[in-house]
Amino acid sequence: SLFSPNEDFTEIKTENLKYLLVPYYLGDVTGRSMEDRKGKVQKSNEYYLEFLKLMQHYEILSKEQIDDLNDAKKGIIFTQKMSPSDARTALLKRNQTKKILEHEMELLKGCTDEEKLRQYYEKLMTFNTIRAFEAVCMNLRELEAIKFCEARAAAAGPQKKEEEKKKTEGPKPEPIVGTVDSLEKRWDMKGEVFQPGYILPTMSIEQFGEMEKKKMIENEVSNKEMDAKEKAERDADIDKDEVSDKKTKKARDWDDWKDLHDKGSGLSLIHISEPRDLSTSRMPSSA
């Protein structure tokens, strides 16, 4: 045996101190099981009480904690003996003590010096002692609730008990036939359930780079087409302007000519310079 009832805490080797915590962790693990809940809670309480008795033997418990341990052995929830204000004050005090111990353990964690390592285990035992008392209270309350449910079920009779069992169990799930589609659906459902707490990437870095490259090429082609279209429109506008200028110049020249020459003035000059032969009604021939 590693420990003797005749030795005190200072006589235990530092490397063996961690084994004093075994009953506490057994109680913690046992209390997490949901099968045969009543038996598991009772067994968890036994482990916790064994751990607290060890702490009492090695004089780690305070006087108040020893009184609470005596009540827990009798199945009494020690917090129920307090008034609401006293219970709240005790809860705040426990939480404050746990916070201080956690900070001190964090500073001592990983130390190789034997004295500091021993201090670490002492603070860890004090911390787990507080948690053990809290777990014992919770287990005693749960045992009371389980006994109450058992008594109510026994009073209701077996038929009522069977109906409540069906309600809690719910409808049985339909069996999944092992076809290709159902298996693929099953794997998809599994992938949707078992996911981390952050958003997974939908593509690799290479795929993202290829997509960006494709977008750049498409943008370049689109910009070139837009530039060519704008240039063609500008050239068309220039051609239209040139044609319009030519038409405007021709119209202005014609207006200027009409301003310089009165209407019919050309015919009058012809009549004066070349008189007609009235007898023949023909123009005279040149000499």
Three-class secondary structure assignment of 134-196: HHHHHHHHHHHHHHHHHHHHHHHCHHHHHHHHHHHHCCCCCCCCCCHHHHHHHHHHHHHHCCC
Rounded Cα distance between 269 and 275, Å, is 10
Share of the chain above pLDDT 90, in %: 28
Q: Judge whether residue 283 has pLDDT over 50.
A: no
Q: Which of 77-91, 133-147, 238-252 has the lowest mean pLDDT?
A: 238-252
pLDDT attached to residue 286: 44
Confidence of residue 155 (pLDDT cuts 50, 70, 90): confident
Residue 242 pLDDT more than 70? yes
Band (201; pLDDT cuts 50, 70, 90): confident
Q: Is the predicted pLDDT of residue 30 greater than 50, yes or no?
A: yes
pLDDT tens for 71-93 read 888 888 877 778 888 888 888 99
Average pLDDT, the chain: 81
- Name 277's bridge partners: 282
For residue 179, pLDDT beyond 60: no
107-136: average pLDDT: 91
Question: pTM here?
Answer: 0.53
Q: What confidence tier does 5 reach under pLDDT thresholds 50, 70, 90?
A: confident
**118/112 Cα distance (integer angstroms):** 10
- Mean pLDDT within 135-158: 85
CA 263-265-268 angle, 5° bins: 135
CB 126 within 8 Å of CB 62: no
Q: What does the pLDDT average to over 236-246?
A: 74
128: pLDDT strictly greater than 50: yes
